[in-house]
Structure 1
Amino acid sequence: MSTLDQLTVAPEDTVLYDVRADGVAVLTLNRPGRRNAWGYDMETRYFALLDEAAADPAVRVIVVTGAGGTFCPGMDMDILRRASTDPTYQRPARRPQTHARTVPKPVAAAVDGACAGIGFVQALMADLRFTTARAKWTPSFTRLALTSEDAVSWLLPRLVGAGHAADLLLSCRVVRGDEAARLGLANRCVEPDDLLPAALAWAADVARGCAPWALAQVKNQLSLDMTSTLEESRLRSNELLTVARERPDYAEGVASFRERRAPRFEGLPVDHPPVELAGRGR
């Protein structure tokens, strides 16, 4: 089997999956021999595991990271070479790269090393990002004579502002992790040895102390309110509050505060709907 053929099959070791006792699922991009370069096999496996985590009531928060001290340097060069030189090359059918945004559970990315191209895209699709000062972030699109991909030109200005987004997307310069945190591209910059522990600590705190149903609704609100008016957001939040106050989780949350104990919230049901992406259907 050729290297390119291998990159279209989805062996289980391309993305590792571990569900911890604290309700955190860890997805690890795992092709260290190729620095976790993205292939269609990895993509298929990654999205399938996101679906598995979304459907598992025991999973409350998801953390995605990369093996071998790097996140993902972009699409595998064998795929890029074939796609750019072979007129007969056909890309496989793919799911939207925004898929992580539809998962009704918090997704945090722990980014070290290279984070470029489609690796940059997938880091942005997480709800928040932890990084290190040595990490190298770049969209890389224009340096490959490509346009902005997968709604990055929509999402990036909302994360870092229009001016910084224009800088990053036009120049596609490399941004170190400490600058990424200053720009708002990353939420927190920590030492390399503290990267995964910091992401896992945040995830464990949310998994332990926050109601899964409420987390799913807030993630949906964050998505829909990006293209809503202030009044639309207010009305939607009031409707959701009416529902939330009638749920057992609300009584449990209040009781846990009064009794000074950890809450015992219900897990998200298997059939909970995905997050609605902003602007869909408009």
Structure 2
Amino acid sequence: MAYQQILYEVRDRIATITLNRPDALNAWTDVMADEVWQAMHEAERDEAVRVIVLTGAGRAFCAGGDVTGFKSDDPRQLLDKLPRAYDFSRRPDYQGRASYFPSIAKPIIAMLNGATAGLGLVHALFADVRIAADDAVFTTAFARIGLASEYGMAWALRNAVGHASALDLLLSARKVRGDEALRIGLVSQIHPHDKLAEATYAYAREIAELCSPRSTRVLKQQLWELPFQSLHEAVQSDSQAMLDANVCEDFEEGKRAFMEKRPPRFTGR
């Protein structure tokens, strides 16, 4: 489909979704929200895609929500707009306006090329892996403009960095950069700005070429289910997943490739 505020490209089994409002630092709009949702599901359906990269055009990833979209006589509209059909096959927690990334059955890498603030940080936190430029700047933003955490950010932030660091970042709304973002777990990798794309796509290609799509799908689901499981439930779920994996085609191919000392030819089955 044709997109107005994002770019969508598939290459080397990697789908790239680029927020494309560089003059506005990729400020988030309803149009962008709808298009990212469409593109994520397009990539999920495409059997040629094994990894998804989400990034921003220009010098920012996403500097937050477009302030022109804040005007409303009914604050409930901020929660209710862009409703999606409820999917009974997926966890309801991961069907929200920003929190649906965990329900996408392929790894999502947020390539954070610059300012990542407010609603931009919300979406980055629901990605599976965050890789950032060393000069990228992160802030929750809300406390300094009189707002509260939105769309599940507090939950996702605590999940990523722990309770104490999450409170620090939310209460102060201070700016976090490179080394500190890496140290507290806000990002998984940092790279010089001019090497960010090279490093991110090398990582994405490694997953796309060497890892079973079936395994990445199951492993992603296992990790995002953990906040809702007791240890006993996690052990039961993992045990069933391992039994299923032992009789799948990808496991047989993985064993053959290992014995024959060649790259695997996984099908995802």
TM-score (structure 1 length as normaliser): 0.86
Give the deviation of 1:121 after TM superposition.
0.4
Which residue number corresponds to residue 279 of structure 1? none
Which residue number corresponds to residue 48 of structure 2? 58
**Alignment partners' CA distance in 1, 2:155 and 2:120:** 17
RMSD: 1.9
Which residue number corresponds to residue 132 of structure 1? 133
Which residue number corresponds to residue 273 of structure 1? none
Identity over aligned pairs, percent: 39
User: Contact 2:250–2:268 (CA<8 Å) still a contact in 1?
Assistant: no
**Alignment partners' CA distance in 1, 2:75 and 2:203:** 47
**Alignment partners' CA distance in 2, 1:254 and 1:131:** 35
Superposition pairs of residues 97-116 of structure 1, within 5 angstroms: 97-116=98-117
Give the deviation of 1:226 after TM superposition.
2.1
User: Contact 2:131–2:188 (CA<8 Å) still a contact in 1?
Assistant: yes
| Partner SS, residue 173 of structure 1 | coil
User: Contact 1:137–1:177 (CA<8 Å) still a contact in 2?
Assistant: no
Query: Structure 1 regions of 5+ residues with no counterpart?
Result: 1-9, 269-282
User: Contact 1:109–1:199 (CA<8 Å) still a contact in 2?
Assistant: no
Which residue number corresponds to residue 123 of structure 2? 122
Which residue number corresponds to residue 220 of structure 1? 221
User: Contact 2:134–2:178 (CA<8 Å) still a contact in 1?
Assistant: yes
Which residue number corresponds to residue 35 of structure 1? 25
One-letter amino acid of the structure 1 residue matched with residue 140 of structure 2: P
| Partner SS, residue 68 of structure 1 | coil
TM-score (structure 2 length as normaliser): 0.90
One-letter amino acid of the structure 2 residue matched with residue 232 of structure 1: E
1:47 has 2:37 as partner: yes
One-letter amino acid of the structure 1 residue matched with residue 143 of structure 2: T
**Alignment partners' CA distance in 1, 2:255 and 2:75:** 62
User: Contact 1:156–1:165 (CA<8 Å) still a contact in 2?
Assistant: yes
1:23 has 2:7 as partner: no
Aligned length: 255
Correspondence for 2:60 among 61, 65, 70: 70
- Cα deviation, 1:84-119, whole Å, max 9, x if unaligned, reads xx6799553345211111101000001122111110
Superposition pairs of residues 137-148 of structure 1, within 5 angstroms: 137-148=138-149
Over 3 Å counting, the alpha-carbon distance change for 1:199 and 1:162 in structure 2 is same
Which residue number corresponds to residue 163 of structure 1? 164
Over 3 Å counting, the alpha-carbon distance change for 1:38 and 1:251 in structure 2 is same
Superposition pairs of residues 181-200 of structure 1, within 5 angstroms: 181-200=182-201
Over 3 Å counting, the alpha-carbon distance change for 1:219 and 1:160 in structure 2 is same
One-letter amino acid of the structure 1 residue matched with residue 210 of structure 2: G
**Alignment partners' CA distance in 1, 2:246 and 2:10:** 30
| Partner SS, residue 61 of structure 2 | coil
1:93 has 2:94 as partner: no
One-letter amino acid of the structure 2 residue matched with residue 122 of structure 1: H
- Cα deviation, 1:218-245, whole Å, max 9, x if unaligned, reads 1111011223222221111111111111
Over 3 Å counting, the alpha-carbon distance change for 1:194 and 1:13 in structure 2 is farther
**Alignment partners' CA distance in 2, 1:164 and 1:151:** 16
Which residue number corresponds to residue 6 of structure 1? none
**Alignment partners' CA distance in 1, 2:46 and 2:18:** 18
Query: Structure 2 regions of 5+ residues with no counterpart?
Result: 85-95
**Alignment partners' CA distance in 1, 2:48 and 2:172:** 43
Which residue number corresponds to residue 243 of structure 1? 244
